[in-house]
Chain A
Amino acid sequence: MCDKERIVSYVYDELDRASRAEVDAHLKTCAECREEIAGLRRVRLDLGKWTPPQPEFGFHIVRDRQPTWRQWWTPAFGLAAAAVLVLALASAIANVDVSYENGVAHLRTGRGHVELADTTRKPEPPRPAVAPVEGVAKTKTDDAQLALASLDRRLRQLESASRTSGMQQAALSSAQQGDDEIMRRVRDLLAQSESKQQQELALRIAQVIRDVDAQRVSDLNRIQQGLVRLDAMTTQEAVAHRDLANYIVASARQK
């Protein structure tokens, strides 16, 4: 009798020509192997009847540019105070005017350009704290003022820090270099505030989604309860009708 591996190779047609000829020759004389191979071929035919379902897939890989929850969820709490500042600041950012004069940083809101690099310009006449044209900005006066005050504080700290380092470096650091440093930091601050604003926005959106979902679930529950009540009422009505019908039939019979 042929060995099993040969039989399998023969059934799946994975024998070289010589081996195949050998098996063919053997099969002419061996009924047992013939039967075995015929049986395995029948099984193969049966296996062909097993077809998997054909679901619609429609999935594909997309690039996700959004930060994931895990990435910023934890630090977001740590920076909660900063985030509040940032959100408020963001609303006013379009009209923020930062100037640097005589070693002091000035910060205003208004319709003017942000002229971070211009340290030589003269002080401008005081402007309204809030841009009157921007309706949105008007509603955020308090937030904006808070934010501005806070940013002002930070700028002063930066400025004093740079002055200290300037003293350490003595004559080497010119006033211009100090200015550049301050401007760089201001830009960093602004960049930071922008990224935090994005995080805040993502957080808000997530909250809204959660709220909507919760509302949807509770609505569905209410609908479900309503349906159950309706069902119960319908059943009661049906029972009442049946009773009434029975009563009518019974009384008709009596008559």
Chain B
Amino acid sequence: MPSTDEELVARSMGGDLDSFNQLVLRWERPIFALAYRVIGREEDARDVCQETFLRAFRALKGFKGQAKFSSWLYRIALNLCRDWIRRERRQPIAQAPEGVDLIELASESTPTESIEELVARRELGRAVARVMAELPDEQRTAIILKEYHGLTFQEIADLLDCPLSTVKTRLYQGLTVLRKQLAREGLPGAAPKPSTTDRTDYTDHVRVFRDVPGISRNIDDV
């Protein structure tokens, strides 16, 4: 049976590096995802993620177990993100990937999902990233913690040191803005199916897919 975070933390405090590295392995993806969605840049998010664990390791003695270990990590990561945003003195930029990683794409696709649907989902994901980046930091952070990390309102309030009602207000305002913006982008729900006359929007994807046997035919038929 795998150890709990608390057990691993206790062992790490006793000087067991392996236990701490198990915690790293367990939490690196959530922390990276948090940083990526808050600051919007993959490389910087990686740095923030790494720095989060370094700081946690150095400050482990100061962790008294008053909060969950994950909440403690989230707090460190959010502080680092805030520092990053201040340092960069700009709104986070949702990074649009250069091309489409086909392997990643394929692994994401569910058996019932066609490539067009997958592409549409990707497009929608990028649109969400764009409009999220335009939200005020505190609204975006609240939505990220709620939506992607499943924290309760109370946990978010504790993490952000603000009243419960503030968390709900930020969520409501953020979601409302997103709703309007996404509607403006014409992207609530799935994107319309590409028609045969309208190929321009998909040229990039066609270029990527064309080299891949098996998929190229479907795409060229679009």
A residues in contact (CB < 8 Å) with B: 4-5, 7-9, 11-12, 14, 39-40, 42-55, 57, 59-63
- Give the residues in chain A near B84, CB-CB below 8 Å: none
- For B179, list chain A residues within 8 Å (CB): 39-40, 42-43
Assess A62 versus B32: contact at CB under 8 Å? Given A39-B179, A42-B188, A46-B187: no
Interface contact A8-B36, CB-CB below 8 Å: no
Q: Is B182 an interface residue (CB 8 A)?
A: yes
Q: Is the CB of A5 within 8 A of B36?
A: no
Contact across chains for B21 and A60 when beta carbons are under 8 A apart: yes
A57 touches B125 (CB 8 A): no
* Per-residue contact bits, chain B 87-130, to A (CB 8 Å; 1 contact, 0 not): 00000000001000000100010000000000001001101110
Do A4 and B124 touch (CB < 8 A)?
no
**Closest beta carbon of chain A to B134's beta carbon, Å:** 14
List chain A residues, Cβ under 8 A from B28: 57, 59
With A40-B175, A61-B17, A61-B53 as known contacts, state yes or no: A45 contacts B189, CB within 8 Å: yes
Q: How far is the CB of A225 from chain B (nearest CB, A)?
A: 29
The reply to whether the CB of B9 lies closer than 8 angstroms to some CB of chain A is no
Q: How far is the CB of A234 from chain B (nearest CB, A)?
A: 26
| A51 contact set on B, CB distance < 8 A | 108, 125
Minimum CB–CB distance from A248 to chain B (whole Å) comes to: 38
Question: Would B172 and A5 count as touching, CB distance under 8 A?
Answer: yes
Residues of A within 8 A of B21 (CB): 60-61
Are the C-beta atoms of A46 and B169 separated by less than 8 Å? no
Q: Which of B64-72, B145-153, B200-208, B211-219 contacts A (4 or more CB under 8 A)?
A: B145-153
Q: B91 to nearest A CB, angstroms?
A: 17
The 9 lowest CB-CB distance pairs between A and B, nearest first, are A50-B128, A5-B168, A60-B21, A4-B172, A52-B36, A49-B124, A49-B125, A52-B33, A50-B125
Q: Which residues of A contact B24 (CB under 8 A)?
A: 59-61
Given contacts A42-B189, A45-B189, contact A52 B128 (CB under 8 A): no
**Given the complex of chains A and B, what is the CA–CA distance between A133 and B6 in angstroms?**
60
B97, B146, B176: which contacts A53 (Cβ < 8 A)?
Answer: B97
B46 at the interface (CB under 8 A from A): yes
Q: Kindly identify which residue among B37, B46, B152, B171 contacts A8, using a CB–CB cutoff of 8 Å.
A: B171
Say whether chain B's binding surface is mostly helix, strand, loop, or mixed: helix
Whether the pair B33, A47 counts as a contact (CB closer than 8 A) is no
Given contacts A52-B32, A60-B25, 10 further A-B contacts (CB under 8 A): A4-B172, A5-B172, A8-B171, A14-B153, A43-B179, A49-B121, A49-B125, A52-B37, A57-B28, A61-B54
Cβ proximity bits B18-43 to A, threshold 8 Å, 1 near / 0 not: 00110011001100110011000010
Contact count band on B: 35 or more
Binding site for A on B (CB under 8 A): 17, 20-21, 24-25, 28-29, 32-33, 36-37, 42, 45-46, 49-50, 53-54, 57, 97, 104, 108, 121, 124-125, 127-129, 132, 143, 146-148, 152-153, 165, 168-169, 171-172, 175-176, 178-179, 182, 187-189
B95 to chain A, nearest CB (A): 9
Distance (whole angstroms) from the CB of B48 to the closest CB of chain A: 12
Question: Are B20 and A55 neighbours in the complex by a CB distance under 8 Å?
Answer: no
Question: Distance (Å) between the CB of B38 and the closest chain A CB?
Answer: 11
A7-B143 contact, Cβ under 8 Å, with A45-B189, A54-B104, A55-B32? no
In whole angstroms, how far apart are the Cα atoms of A49 and B117 in the complex? 12
Known: A12-B146, A43-B179, A47-B128. A57 touches B121 (CB 8 A): no
Measured between C-beta atoms, what is the minimum distance from A44 to chain B in Å? 7
List A contacts of B176 (CB < 8 A): 40
What is the bound-complex CA distance between A59 and B54, given in angstroms?
Answer: 10
Contacts of B146 in A (CB 8 A): 12
Q: Which residues of B contact A47 (CB under 8 A)?
A: 128, 132, 143, 147-148, 178
* Contact A7 B172, beta carbon cutoff 8 Å: yes
- Taken together as a complex, chains A and B put the C-alpha atoms of A4 and B172 apart, in Å, by 7
- Given A42-B189, A61-B24, answer yes or no on A8-B124 (Cβ-Cβ < 8 Å): no
Residue numbers in A under 8 Å from B50 (CB-CB): 59
Measured CA separation A8–B33 after assembly (Å):
24
Residue numbers in A under 8 Å from B17 (CB-CB): 61-63
Residues of A within 8 A of B29 (CB): 54, 57
User: Who on chain A is nearest to B131 by CB?
Assistant: A46
Shortest beta-carbon distance, B94 to chain A, in Å?
Answer: 9
Residues of A within 8 A of B127 (CB): 46
